[in-house]
Structure 1
Amino acid sequence: MNVDGQNVVQVLLLVGSISLVPALLFCVTSFSRILIVLGFVRAGLGTQTTPPNQVLVGIALFLTLFVMGPTFDQIKDRAVEPALAGKISTAQAIDRGQEPLREFMFKQTRTSDLKLFVRLGKIDAPKTRGDIPTRVLIPAFVISELKTAFQIGFLILLPFLIIDLVVSATLMSLGMIMLPPVFISLPFKILLFVLVDGWALVTRSLVQSFG
């Protein structure tokens, strides 16, 4: 293959790798948990499209950068800077760079989920974390993140559900069956959320859940 052909292949590989960045963002960072929990908050409030999806994704992205900051710093120190300085090869940089991510994922992954994918992958029982391939760790991490996000979302929805039940029961006792309860409960839910500084509470709980 000539030089021009090699350049074309390299460009195609580069474009293809860039297209995988969003998938990596979802699968190996805290992004998915944060975005799902924020979606539960909006669903609990019942505001439908407020905040809009773009705002929720933006909040989730910057909270992800905040939570993943120490991990990204380790990747930069161990892999990126030595590779740019020519001290290590690209392959060595990839191996060093994935270690901080693996450490983060191991902390957030349940043992039961790891065992599930080890069994599904028909892999010999690993003796140490280093024996677990990344291709097994990533899906186990994703499943654990989904479970944790839904557990947090359940706790968030409970107080909003209580408000809906109280308003619905009150309207029925007054004989106002035709009036949708959401018209009455929505202002109360927003007021309660603002009074308790809900966004700060949710953000603090999310960040601390990765501790």
Structure 2
Amino acid sequence: MTAKKEINPFMKQVLELGPPIAFFFIYLRLRDDSFLIGGTEYSGFIVATLLFVPLMLAAMGVLWYLTGKLSRIQVFTAIMVIFFGGLTAWFNDERFFKMKTTLVYGFFAIMLGIGLLQRKSYLAYILDEMLPMRHEGWMILTRRLCGCFAFLAVANEFVWRTMSTDLWVKIETFGFPIALMVFLMLQFSLLQSYMDDPDHQ
């Protein structure tokens, strides 16, 4: 089994956030262009999507090399990006890549919901070592995060179906991640009373 290795936090952020930000700037550069590839004309959005996939895989490869591991969430997200990026190129239809975000958030909401029905917190299985918290706190956080993911899935459907591609790319790259980050920071602040105190074990 590969040992987990430490990595500079800044480098970790670059590897995780770099590919989506790169996609954003590549899209801005190519959005008004079209490309003839193999006799088929592709929009700038689709070409940006095809460039994003290897960028993301390269970043994940470097992250795995430096840390010795990848989270299940990272692996699942990579599979979804590859699958829907492939569908986008194969059918020459940008809607597949836009739907990917809905399905990723929806999958997370469903998995957390299944755990709640079993009176379990799957979040605790993943994050308990990093964030010691009593069972009650994990259940509260799981319920709230399940609702958050469900909301983001519905929001993505609304955005890509009713708004321009330009606006969707901006919200996908910055809006949804920032909203999720703020939500999590707020929850951890509100759930301080459920945190385990290592000095009182």
TM-score by length of 2: 0.31
Work out which structure has the larger RCO, using CA pairs closer than 8 Å and 6 or more positions apart in sequence: 1
Q: Which of the two has higher C-alpha Rg?
A: 1
